Structure 1
Amino acid sequence: MMLWEFLLLLLPLLAGSSALDCIEIPGSLKQIDASNGQVFGVNSAGNIYTLYGDSWVQVPGSLKHVTVGPAGVWGVNNNNNIYKLVGGRWQQVTGLLKQIDAGGDMFVNGVNMNDDIYCLSRPPTVSVNSDSALPWVNIAGKLKYYSCGVWGCWGVNSADDIYFRFDVTPDPCAGSRWEQIPGKLSMIEVGTEGSVYGVNSAGQVYRREGITKSNPVGTSWTQVANFICNCKHVSYDLGLLWLITDQDKIVKCRI
């Protein structure tokens, strides 16, 4: 699909809102993550890719979920084994997760196949060693997706309820309490700089407004330019919104 075709599809949905500068880019991915100018993703076959310039370059290995952030590049495979990219090679570490996030300040977090929530504080994250068991910290609650940024961590549960975790720091990483946030999302991603985007079960993309250091939960949700793309995954970094549609198409939008 060309850019003009994509924008034409958006026109009936924009109703008084300016069109996003979006373009579908070559490739097929089921999940994507962007941070600090890097973009990684995995396709339905478990192949891993990273974006160099305008081209996708395959990274050796097989994963179902990949993440990039201040804590490095991490991923989990179909067996829920956890890996960190070290010196161009995937190094398996202890633990089991189905989703993982490296967006925190040099710490990682995620959820396992039972929706149990875990985080790994900065010291073991930085000095990860495959020869020793990592001190994963179990956080009270149940989530299917958990993502962190500079002002805190956000998650969604199996009912698509949205939660914010207060007082998360690099060490300790567990935080203190949950606050349920109005709304429903099927997945949520926190940008390294603190922005929060999510996708609901209808494939609509939302952004959290009003997030500051003093008010990390923000004030409200805004549908992104009334943009409906049947999306299933979103990630934001450096003014670019990356979207994956339900057909695994990759869309890049300038915000």
Structure 2
Amino acid sequence: MLLLIFLQLLYTGAAAEISCTTTHTRLKQLDAGNGDVFGVSDDGRVYFWHSTQWRQIKGNYLHVTVGPAGVWAVDKHNLVYKLQNFEWIKVSGLLKQIDAGGDMFVAGVNAEDNIYCLKEKGTDISYTHIEGKLMYYSCGPLGCWGINNIYEIYYRKNVTKTSCQGTGSEQVNGILVMVEVGTDGSVFAVTTNGKVVTRLGISPKNPVGTEWKELDLYNSFKHVSYDAGFLWLIAENGRVIRCPYPESILSSLL
């Protein structure tokens, strides 16, 4: 089924009609990064996007992520796993949400909304606690973004490969239910009323950007992720919508 969704080309200011494909698999959460896309269904089944369709792999998880740090997941007991050669390997720690988009590190939050970043050294996993409380946390090459339990937005400053804890947080205007940072540093999010927004003005000199811009999408959504020229959206009914989207202006800056 082909769904026509109207998007504004945010970086040029011109309006255009873009054809978006609605896939047949229903998901509750997905993550696109480093050229791959993984997702989980309401009953915990794990899928990845291969060529033109979703394919299921073994495992039953609550949240899955893919990025420069690999493919990771957490289950309903908050146990943490990493995918290696299509085998899920349990590692130490407890998290309810996890993100592999950082520069070779993993980040996430636990059941008490405590924030952590993870570093691998061989088979050892070390956890670094980050001050504050967040229910959702996502990282990219220009820093990390998070949402707390009253939907306030925070940007974590000075996050690097060797210092994943950063040096402090800055509150950003707006109210969101989730936020995802792309592999290229672009930021997309969902508002409390199901609108999809992107952060404008992001650059290495100004990684927090300047303002939120609402995308002109003909639907209401609960999840969004972006990678490699495609926007991935989960509608309220669980349908996954894949839209070609202009390459981020960040690609020429990073």
TM-score using structure 2 length: 0.90
Spell out, residue by residue over 1:126-166, the C-alpha distance to the aligned partner (whole angstroms, 9 max, x if none).
52x2xx5x321110001010000000000011111111000
1:52 matched to 2:43? The reply is no
Q: Which residue in 2 is equivalent to 1:233? A: 223
Query: CA–CA distance in 2 between the matches of 1:199 and 1:20?
Result: 20
Pairs within 5 Å for 1:157-196: 157-196=148-187
1:243 maps onto 2:233 in alignment: yes
Among the aligned pairs, what percent are the same residue?
Answer: 49
- Per-residue deviation, residues 10-52 of structure 1 (Å, max 9, x unmatched): 69xxxx9433432211211111111122110000010000111
Within 5 A, what are the aligned runs for 1:31-50? 31-50=29-48
Compute the TM-score of the two structures, normalised by the length of structure 1.
Answer: 0.90
- Is the 8 Å Cα contact of residues 23 and 53 (structure 2) preserved in structure 1? no
Structure 2 stretches of 5 or more lacking a match?
A: 8-13, 246-254
Classify the secondary structure of the residue corresponding to 2:73. strand
| Alignment partner, residue 213 of structure 2 | 222
Q: Which residue of 2 aligns with 1:21?
A: 19
CA distance in 1 between counterparts of 2:199 and 2:220 reads: 19
Question: Could you tell me how far apart the structure 2 residues matched to 1:173 and 1:228 are?
Answer: 37
Cα separation, 2, equivalents of 1:61 and 1:25: 21
Alignment map for 1:113-128 (pairs within 5 Å): 113-121=111-119, 124=120, 127=122
Structure 2 counterpart SS, 1:213: coil
Bigger share in helix: 1
| CA offset digits 1:196-232 (Å, max 9, x no partner) | 00001111000000100010000111001x2252211
Give the letter for the 1:191 counterpart. Answer: G
Aligned to 2:249: none
For 1:151-183, what per-residue CA distance to the aligned partner results, in whole angstroms no more than 9, with x for missing partners? 000001111111100011122210001000111
Q: Hey, what does 1:211 align to over in structure 2?
A: 202
Q: How many residues align?
A: 239
1:49-198 to 2 correspondence within 5 Å?
Answer: 49-121=47-119, 124=120, 127=122, 129=123, 134-198=125-189
Greater Cα shift, 172-181 or 18-27 = 18-27
| Distance in 1 separating the partners of 2:6 and 2:118 | 41
What is the alpha-carbon distance in structure 1 between the residues aligned to residue 78 and residue 220 of structure 2? 27
Mark the CA change 1:206 to 1:45 in structure 2 (over 3 Å): closer, same or farther. same
Once residues 51 and 21 of structure 2 are traced to their aligned partners in structure 1, the CA distance between those partners, rounded to angstroms, is 15
**CA offset at residue 251 of structure 1?**
0.3
Which protein has the bigger strand share?
A: 2
Amino acid at match of 2:138: S
